[in-house]
Amino acid sequence: MTDKDQNSVPAGFEEITIVVDPSPEMIERYDEWEIDQRASFKAAGVTILSVDGSIFHGYYDPDTVDPDILPS
Amino acid sequence: MAYVRHKIIKGHKYFYLVEGYREGAKVRQRVLLYLGASEPSERVKQQLKKQYSKPKKTGLGDDTAKVDAADTRMKEGVYAAYEYFGLKVRHNLTSGGTNGAVLLRNNKPYAVSLIKFPNTSTMVHELGHVIDFILQDRAKVVRATDERFAHIYSNDTKSLILQEESAALARQKYASGYSRLLEISEKKGRDGHLAQREEETLSKYKKFFTNYAETQVEGFANAFALYLSDPDLAEEIAPRYCEVIFTLISDQPDMQEVVDSLLHSPAF
């Protein structure tokens, strides 16, 4: 994670990093899997700042998002 | 029973994992995996045979029972390790395609997400990620005590250090996918072109390996998980990862205790 990423988290928001492991079958549709992950995080209220392989880094509003339900 | 054999095509040797099967009175052979143009080492051959051979029937079913019991003990050990590190464990992954996830706040793991019935190797793999990130969080202590290994936690994620071993671990873990990738790549090399569908498959497989399976963060978790199931193979294909991981862990007495308890569980 870079300093730039850290600084991109707006004040009042919580930073979150999620390391996600696709199932082996996703070898057949890795592109779609990555897009699905982004969509799933967005739907849960997480803004993704960067993706580095299996590491998704972003932030969420703690007043509206329960981190205990992530990822879903 | 699976075994490795080679074929000679246009003067070149190509290696395959094959198994024999009976069809009426005849014994035939089917290819399980294409292994490429280089002969795998004896250790890798043994691992592939073990991985792809069906368990022997004892008539009593006791081998299966022993394997199940060992698997259950390892799972209990991993759940205990999650708890020891203060992680919430949720079986909340329901959408297809994702087996496990580790969540971090301020670079510290706080939860593990799994599917409802995860297999043991996934659980150990996620524990590998957890240990990686806890070690990173404590890295300033580790770096101060052993500068040789500081490089593994470089912020430069594009670093080529350990890349070769990360790739070897990924190829071992996803052997059938890598076999297919090799097969299509070599076909392209031979024929100079591919049908559109094969070209797309090649591109997807390459992306899976390059963007995900062969990255260093996955290399760490893969090396950790392989070490717990087959230490000899792990040391053969990823000696530097094993040295780094277990030297770093040995500097953390609490972590060493957790890992020791898992190492003394029967192999899963």
Segment A5-39, tens digit of pLDDT: 455 889 899 999 999 999 988 998 888 888 888 88
Across the range B200-217, mean pLDDT stands at: 92
Boundary of a domain, candidates B38, B54, B70: B54
Give pTM, 2 decimals.
0.79
Whether B202 and B252 share a structural domain: yes
Which residue out of A2, A14, A21 would a mutagenesis test of the B interface target, given it has the greatest number of B Cβ atoms within 10 Å?
A: A21
- Which of residues B31 and B195 earns the better pLDDT score? B195
Say if the Cβ atoms of B103 and A67 lie within 8 Å.
yes
User: Which member of B94, B95, B211 has the closest CB to residue A30?
Assistant: B211
Give the pLDDT of residue B48: 78
Angstrom CA distances, A15 to A55, B30, B107, stand at 13, 51, 9
| Residue A6 forms contact with B (CB below 8 Å) | no
Say if the Cβ atoms of A27 and B205 lie within 8 Å.
yes
Whether B125 and B176 share a structural domain: yes
Whether B68 and B127 share a structural domain: yes
CB B233 within 8 A of CB B43: yes
The total domain count for chain B is 2
Whether B31 and B126 share a structural domain: no
- Which of residues B20 and B198 earns the better pLDDT score? B198
The total domain count for chain A is 1
User: Which member of B94, B205, B217 has the closest CB to residue A19?
Assistant: B217
The β-bridge relationship of strands A14-22 and A46-52 is unpaired
Give the minimum alpha-carbon distance from A41 to chain B in angstroms, rounded to a whole number: 12
Whether B253 and B148 share a structural domain: yes
Across the range B40-48, mean pLDDT stands at: 78
Whether B121 and B140 share a structural domain: yes
How would residue B44 be classed by pLDDT, with cut points 50, 70 and 90? confident
Nearest alpha carbon to residue B170 among B119, B204, B129, B215: B215
Q: Residues 6 or more apart from B19 whose CB is under 8 A from it?
A: B1, B2, B3, B29, B30, B32, B52, B53
Give the pLDDT of residue B64: 67
Whether B33 and B70 share a structural domain: no
Q: Residues 6 or more apart from A31 whose CB is under 8 A from it?
A: B204, B207
Q: How far apart are CA A45 and CA B83, in angstroms?
A: 27
Task: State the greatest distance between any 2 C-alpha atoms of chain B, in Å, as a whole number.
Answer: 68
The β-bridge relationship of strands B108-114 and B88-90 is parallel
| Residue A43 forms contact with B (CB below 8 Å) | no
Q: Using a CB-CB distance cutoff of 8 angstroms, which residues of chain B are in contact with residue A67?
A: 103, 105, 111
Give the pLDDT of residue B101: 94
Give the pLDDT of residue B97: 87
User: How many Cα atoms within 13 Å fall on the side-chain side of residue B97?
Assistant: 17
CB B204 within 8 A of CB A27: yes
Give the pLDDT of residue B139: 62
Whether B50 and B171 share a structural domain: no
Residue of B nearest to A14 (CA): B105
Whether B66 and B39 share a structural domain: no
| Residue B111 forms contact with A (CB below 8 Å) | yes
Q: Look at residue B39 and give its three-state secondary structure.
A: coil
Q: How far apart are CA A56 and CA A60, in angstroms?
A: 13
In the predicted structure, residue B266 carries a pLDDT above the cut 60: no
How would residue B103 be classed by pLDDT, with cut points 50, 70 and 90? very high
| Residue B204 forms contact with A (CB below 8 Å) | yes
Across the range B89-107, mean pLDDT stands at: 86
Q: Using a CB-CB distance cutoff of 8 angstroms, which residues of chain B are in contact with residue A68?
A: 88, 90, 111
Give the pLDDT of residue B19: 81
Whether B33 and B125 share a structural domain: no
| Residue A53 forms contact with B (CB below 8 Å) | yes
Task: State the greatest distance between any 2 C-alpha atoms of chain A, in Å, as a whole number.
Answer: 40
B8-41 residue pLDDT tens: 877 778 888 888 777 777 777 777 777 877 888 8
In which domain, by residue range, is B7 found? 1-54
Q: Using a CB-CB distance cutoff of 8 angstroms, which residues of chain B are in contact with residue A53?
A: 157, 211-212, 215, 217-218
Say if the Cβ atoms of B211 and A53 lie within 8 Å.
yes
The β-bridge relationship of strands B12-23 and B2-9 is antiparallel
Q: Is the ipTM of this complex over 0.90?
A: no
CB B3 within 8 A of CB B145: no
In which domain, by residue range, is A19 found? 3-69
- DSSP-derived letter for residue A39 is H
Residue of A nearest to B218 (CA): A54
Give the pLDDT of residue B170: 95
Selection from B10-14, B94-98, B120-124, B242-246 with the highest mean pLDDT: B120-124
In the predicted structure, residue B260 carries a pLDDT above the cut 60: yes
Give the pLDDT of residue B18: 83
Whether B158 and B50 share a structural domain: no
User: Which member of B88, B205, B212 has the closest CB to residue A54?
Assistant: B212
Q: How far apart are CA B75 and CA B121, in angstroms?
A: 9
| Residue B95 forms contact with A (CB below 8 Å) | yes
Boundary of a domain, candidates B18, B39, B54: B54
Say if the Cβ atoms of A70 and B113 lie within 8 Å.
yes
In the predicted structure, residue B221 carries a pLDDT above the cut 80: yes
In the predicted structure, residue B213 carries a pLDDT above the cut 90: yes
Boundary of a domain, candidates B39, B54, B69: B54
